[in-house]
Every structure is written in structure tokens, then in C-alpha cells.
Amino acid sequence: MRFNAKGVEMTREIASIIRANEAGRALQDFLADRFTYHTADEWMCRIAEGRVRVNGHTATPDRILSVGDHLRYDASDIPEPPVDCTFRILIDDPLLLVIDKPGNLPCHPGGRYFRHTLWALLQTQCGLAHPVFVNRIDRETSGLVLIAKTPEAGRNLARQFAGGRVTKTYTVLVEGMFPERVEARGWLHPDPDSAVRKKRRFSPAPAGSAAPGDAAEWSETVFERERVCDGFSVVTARPRTGRLHQIRATLLSLGFPVVGDKLYGVDEQCFLRFCSGGLTERDRARLRMGRQALHAVRLAFRHPHFGTPTDVDAPLPSDMEALIGGHAQACL
């Protein structure tokens, strides 16, 4: 996506580089299989309009692609799924922003999300030409996101995260009665039993143990139960490492899937049906919530210029409050 100096959107582009297993195909066929938001006929029209460029030049639909070819497509007309744009600014100073993000808003462009992202909204609504995301949370995760306004501030804050000097606290609702306290240490790695390529599994292990594969990452999270409601628990999670899907994957592997989580919840088939538009009413009832019940509730770090301790809290969002409140009499 490209913006002018005032943060007004100019064009949105998709870029792709052809890999060895993609070479030898016609341009139209590759695009129709890879980017399914347009049919093959629609892609033919867009190629004819000159909106698809290969190595900087217009091309024909039957152009045979080679390894290393650079594709760019003007994606301005792709319809984007609706999102919740009502983010709140909790801290705004010359070097940083702290945002309380809603539970249906991607941080960065990806897939069909371009204009409907926090990154784009910060440019168009706040005039930030180059927001630097120091931490990111999933689209369906609500809560605190730290944004640096300058490269120097971004590097300082990134060093704090990398050095374990930032305290991150989450509130998460999980199925079942969670133990009072769990210190989960072990490896996060691809789940070989899952039909979803990006899904991960947590395998408990002692410190210093060998990694179960090249893709494995060491992970540490402390969980503490706050209360038990009717069939689910309210849990505080404090990750000591920052890994992709760390909290959600760890909780599922411990036997306590996250409420509302279509991928790491009670049944990953919910995720597959969701992707194909086939989520059923029974699925929704099992999930309890329309999104994963995970909220980044607290961040504690040092200001990148003054070094002063900065502690920010974001109240629990209304959907999680409503689920807890609906079971208040059963909560202990």
C-alpha cells in the first residue's frame, strides 16, 4: 500500500516473486490459483487493463512465468472484510503511541486486508507516515499495541522486548478448570497432526533440552487462574518469550483450549469451516464467542528517551466481560 506525505492512500499493490515450484505456469492461471478473490476471467480482464506487471512491464494472460519473476498488481478494487476500526489511543507523545486495539482489526496488511488494518488507519487518521510496530497481536486478539514514531525509538523499544525487559500480561478465557498456577517451559514447533500448516504445538521440556526440529523455538509462559466460571476459567498469562501463537498453542497443548479460538480451540475443524464460509450454529455455540478470548491487558516498559517506567493497562473488552458476566453466579 502506498500513501502520500499527508497519509492519504494513493495505490495498493500486491507483490509476489515466483518460486521454483510456481514457474512454468501461465500468468492468468497462477493468479487465479494463488489469489482466489478474483476468478480466472476477472484476472484476464485485469491483466488486459495493465493492472498486473511482470518485472515492471505489462504482460499477457498466457505469459509463462519464470523463477524470480517479480509480479505487482494494483489491488485497489479488492473488497475487504469488515473490521472494527474503533481503536483507542492510550498514550500519544512525540516518540510513541500505545493503542488499545479491538478484537477484529489486523495490525498489518495481509491477505484481503489492506485499508482495513491498524497500520493503514494510523496513517490515514493519525498522519503517521511510517508507524513502527514494536509488538503485534493477532487480528482477533484485543488489547495493547506499542507503536514507535521514529526509527530510533523503535530500535530502543525492540531491544527492551528482545532483552526481556518488557512485562506483557494477558487475560485469557479457557475451557475447563485451569490449575492455580502453571509454568510452561518447552518447545513450540509445527503441529504434524494438524491439517492447518501454520498451526503450532507446545511440547514441555526441561531447559537445555534438544530442539525437536529446526523450526522449534523455546517458549516460556506463566499462567495463573483468576477464577472459574461455568465450564471455563479466567486466566492471567505472562509470556517470558515472544513466539508466534505462544499463549494459544501452549494452552491447547496443556488441555485448556482458548474460548472462541477457531484454530486453537475445541476443534480445528471450526477453523477450516470458517475459512470456507461454512461455520455452523453448533460451531458458534461450542466456541462461546465470535473471536478468541485473548486480551493484552498490560504493558510495562521504559520510555525510549527518558528511561522512565511506563505502565499501561487496557480494560477487558465488552465481549469478554459479557461472557464472564453472563456466568457471574457460577464464577468462583
Output the pLDDT for position 65: 95
Architecture of domain 2-74: Roll (3.10)
Architecture of domain 171-292: 2-Layer Sandwich (3.30)
Output the pLDDT for position 314: 97
Output the pLDDT for position 95: 96
Contact 129, 123 (CB under 8 A): yes
Contact 248, 292 (CB under 8 A): yes
Output the pLDDT for position 3: 41
The domain defined by 88-165+295-325 folds into Pseudouridine synthase (3.30.2350)
Do 2-74 and 88-165+295-325 agree at the fold level? no
- Where exactly are the structural domains of the chain? 2-74, 88-165+295-325, 171-292
Which three three-digit cell numbers place residue 156? 530502543
Averages of pLDDT over each 10 residues, the chain, 332 residues: 41 80 91 78 86 92 94 78 93 96 89 82 88 93 97 95 95 97 97 92 94 94 95 96 96 97 94 88 94 98 96 96 79 65
Output the pLDDT for position 332: 67
- Rounded Cα gap, residues 139 and 172, in angstroms: 15
Output the pLDDT for position 43: 87
Tell me: the pLDDT tens digits for 16-62?
Answer: 899 898 899 999 999 888 776 677 888 888 888 888 999 999 999 99
